[in-house]
Chains A and B, each alone.
Chain A
Amino acid sequence: MPIKTEQFYLNVGPQHPSTHGVFRLRLSLDGEVVTDVEPIIGYLHRGIEKLAESRTYTQIIPLTDRLDYLASMTDNVAYCLAVEKLAGIKIPERAEYIRVIFSELMRISSHMMAVGFYLNDCGAFFTPVLYMWREREKIIDLFDMVCGQRLLYNYMRVGGVSQDVPDEFLPAIKKFVAEMPRYIGEYNQLIKQNEIFLARSKGVGILPKETAVNIGASGPVLRASGVKWDIRKMDPYSIYDRFDFEVPTGEAGDCYDRYWVRIQEMTQSLRIIEQAINQIPAKGPICSEVPQFFRPPPGETYGYIEAPKGNLGFYIVSDGSIAPYRLHIYPPTLINITALKDMMIGWKVADLIIIFGSMDVVLGEIDR
């Protein structure tokens, strides 16, 4: 006699350690196999786009910190670039280099968190995270040195950066860049050949190339699927055309590739930082003169950068007043999770946690 089965609904989250924030997945299960996935979001919605309409352009910078709070420096950069594009503001050479150095440090830090917590989801409980945190702490100390903040930096300004780096910064970052490759080697030694890790991540949660492009995925998720698309390379903003670096890509588009692309990107970021330290002008202004309340000419612009998690953009419409008429944030992780359904159906609940972990999701950015 065949066993009678029926569909079973399960809520993962919103308060669940593996959802990396307040994220809810409504699963339909057949036994332990996932048959349908519906992400439910909005638990962290603060209405940043609406708030921005009643603030001046400078007052919006701290709001952008609270988007992707694990990479607030790049959020600042993306917003400032968009406003500079809108108002036609040029920024000094030294500030460009400082921005590049901090963006790349932020990328390393963000990827470390992503890889660390991904391994946590794989079952390597907290040891890898603490290994990653050891070096992330050093990056945060560097940020602390320049702006006195450890999480929400509010360091970039329209027209440059808020303050110059202190004298002890350059020796400290040189030391970090010299040490870091050894630590990346250590991570690879610990993780890359681990049999349990390979068994759980190779071939799991495959995102085919065509789907990745069609859903508009970006960042390491897109590159792991084999699409060589990095805005720093394809449409260089700031001064990224001066640096020599490679764009790592994956082949299969599985969880392992997404992990491995991130690790390789850390090495490439170190290369960029090294070149930037050698090229940075020793002295010079760090912020061009921008009035406190400036009025960009009426018009619209879309400024975008390659943030650690993907293509982060700001669409700003100005009506010539001191506050934007409309500000829209294009969040990479919200677009990346469009693919969750394709990746999760047919896998078991335990794999679903891993697939979700490999997407590197930050809810502050999804919900805004």
Chain B
Amino acid sequence: MTVAVNTEETGKKIAEAIPGSVVSSEAGSLTVDSKSLAQVSEFLKNTPGLEFDYLTVLTAVDYLHYFEVVYRLVSLKNNQSLILKTRVYGRENPTVPSVTDTWRAAYYQEREIFDLLGIKFEGHPNLKRLLLWEGFNGHPLRRDYL
């Protein structure tokens, strides 16, 4: 069975290594500050005992007053999983650091989120619309898109 790691313990570990990065670590998911996301992702990938080398789903949800970007990480070696989240406020120009340097699995998924929800991923090598055409107006998966 793929066991979900204890988010509180993992949160403590991350908070020790990267102070000020963990926002909350309630049961089930770990929310980090979007500014430290690149550091946290490197930490999760390279720390012995965590070794989250496999990124599966990467998506975002529009909660109207903020966007939540969700990452599901799996460690193939330890057969563990972790749901990592980050929140980004503002509807004009929401920006999150890209994790493509850590996991290339994010390449298309970040482009898709940029396309459909309009969240920019800083440091993405080729941030263009993926499913819709260039010049399409708006981001359809936002809740206020009609």
Write the residues of chain A forming the contact surface with B, with a CB cutoff of 8 angstroms.
41-42, 45, 47, 49-50, 211, 213-216, 218, 227, 229, 234-236, 300, 302, 304, 311, 313, 315, 317, 325-326, 328, 330, 334-335, 337-338, 367-368
Known: A302-B72, A328-B59. 13 other contacts (CB 8 A): A42-B132, A42-B133, A211-B104, A214-B104, A215-B104, A215-B105, A304-B56, A311-B56, A313-B56, A330-B59, A334-B108, A335-B108, A338-B108
Bound complex: CA A216 to CA B83 (Å): 16
A172 CA to B84 CA, complexed, in Å: 47
The 10 closest A-B pairs by CB, nearest first: A216-B105, A235-B2, A42-B131, A328-B59, A330-B57, A45-B131, A215-B104, A326-B61, A214-B104, A338-B107
B42 interface hit (Cβ, 8 Å): no
What is the distance, in angstroms, from A346's C-beta to the closest C-beta of chain B? 19
How many angstroms from the CA of A367 to the CA of B115 in the assembled complex?
A: 12
A235 to B116, CA, bound (A): 31
Beyond A235-B2, A328-B59, A335-B108, whether A213 also contacts B70 by CB under 8 A is no
Residue B38 is within 8 A (CB to CB) of chain A in the complex: no
**CA A304 – CA B59 in complex, angstroms?**
15
B79: interface (CB < 8 Å) = yes
Q: In the complex the two chains form, is A227's CB within 8 Å of B132's CB?
A: no
Beyond A216-B105, A335-B105, A338-B108, whether A234 also contacts B57 by CB under 8 A is no
Range, interface on chain B: 20 to 34
| Alpha-carbon distance between A313 and B2 when the two chains are bound, in angstroms | 15
Task: Identify the closest chain A residue to B142 (Cβ).
Answer: A50
Q: Across the interface, do B141 and A216 meet the contact criterion of CB distance under 8 Å? A: no
CA distance A234 to B131 in the complex (A): 32
Task: Please determine whether A229 and B76 come into contact, CB atoms closer than 8 angstroms.
Answer: yes
Q: Tell me which residues from 35 to 71 in chain B have a Cβ below 8 Å from any Cβ of chain A.
A: 53-57, 59, 61-62, 70
Of all chain B residues, the one with the shortest Cβ separation from A235 is B2
Indicate if the CB atoms of B56 and A216 lie closer than 8 Å.
yes
B interface vs A, CB < 8 Å?
Answer: 1-2, 53-57, 59, 61-62, 70, 72, 76, 79, 83, 103-105, 107-109, 116, 129-133, 140-141
Asked, given contacts A49-B141, A235-B2, A236-B1, whether A216 binds B104 with beta carbons under 8 Å apart, the answer is yes
B57 and A313 within 8 A (CB): yes
A325 to B59, CA, bound (A): 14
Bound CA–CA A119/B69 (angstroms) = 41
Give the distance in Å from the alpha carbon of A233 to the alpha carbon of B62 in the complex.
34
Give the shortest distance, in Å, between A154 (CB) and chain B (any CB): 24
A47 in complex: contacting residue of B72, B83, B140, CB < 8 Å: B140
When distances are taken between beta carbons in the complex, the residues of chain A under 8 Å from B130 are 41-42
Write out the residue numbers on chain B whose beta carbons fall within 8 Å of the beta carbon of A218: 56
Contact of A317 among B55, B61, B72 (CB under 8 A): B61
In the complex, what distance in Å separates the CA atom of A311 from the CA atom of B62? 25
Residues of A within 8 A of B59 (CB): 315, 328, 330
CA distance A368 to B72 in the complex (A): 20
In the bound complex, do residue B141 and residue A50 qualify as a contact, i.e. CB atoms below 8 Å apart?
yes
Partner of A325 from B61, B131, B133, B140 at Cβ < 8 Å: B61
Q: Which residues of A contact B62 (CB under 8 A)?
A: 326
Contact B54 A368 (CB under 8 A): no
Q: Which residues of A contact B129 (CB under 8 A)?
A: 42
Residue of A nearest to B59 (CB): A328
**Bound CA span A50–B145, Å:** 10
A216 to B55 Cα, complex, angstroms: 6
- Given the complex, which residues of A lie within 8 Å of B76, measured CB to CB? 213, 227, 229
A218 and B105 alpha carbons, distance in the complex (Å):
11
Query: 18 A-B Cβ contacts within 8 A?
Result: A42-B129, A49-B141, A213-B76, A214-B103, A214-B105, A215-B104, A215-B105, A216-B56, A216-B104, A234-B1, A304-B57, A315-B59, A317-B61, A325-B61, A328-B59, A330-B57, A334-B109, A338-B104
Would you call A213 and B132 a contact (CB within 8 A)? no
With both chains docked as a complex, state the minimum distance between the C-beta of B41 and any C-beta of chain A, in angstroms.
Answer: 13
Assembly CA distance A326 to B54 (angstroms): 24
| Complex CA–CA separation, A311 to B55 (angstroms) | 12
Distance between B64 CB and nearest chain A CB, rounded to angstroms: 11
For A338, list chain B residues within 8 Å (CB): 104-105, 107-108
Decide: B1 and A235 in contact? CB cutoff 8 A: yes
CA distance A288 to B72 in the complex (A): 30
| A50, A213, A337: residue with the most chain B Cβ atoms closer than 10 Å | A213
> Chain A residues near B1 (CB, 8 Å)?
234-236
A328 CA / B58 CA spacing, docked (Å): 9
- Min CB gap B97→A, angstroms: 18
Partner of B2, one of A41, A234, A315: A234
Of A41, A42, A330, A367, which contacts B56 at CB under 8 A? A330
Let me know if B53 and A315 touch, CB within 8 A. Answer: no
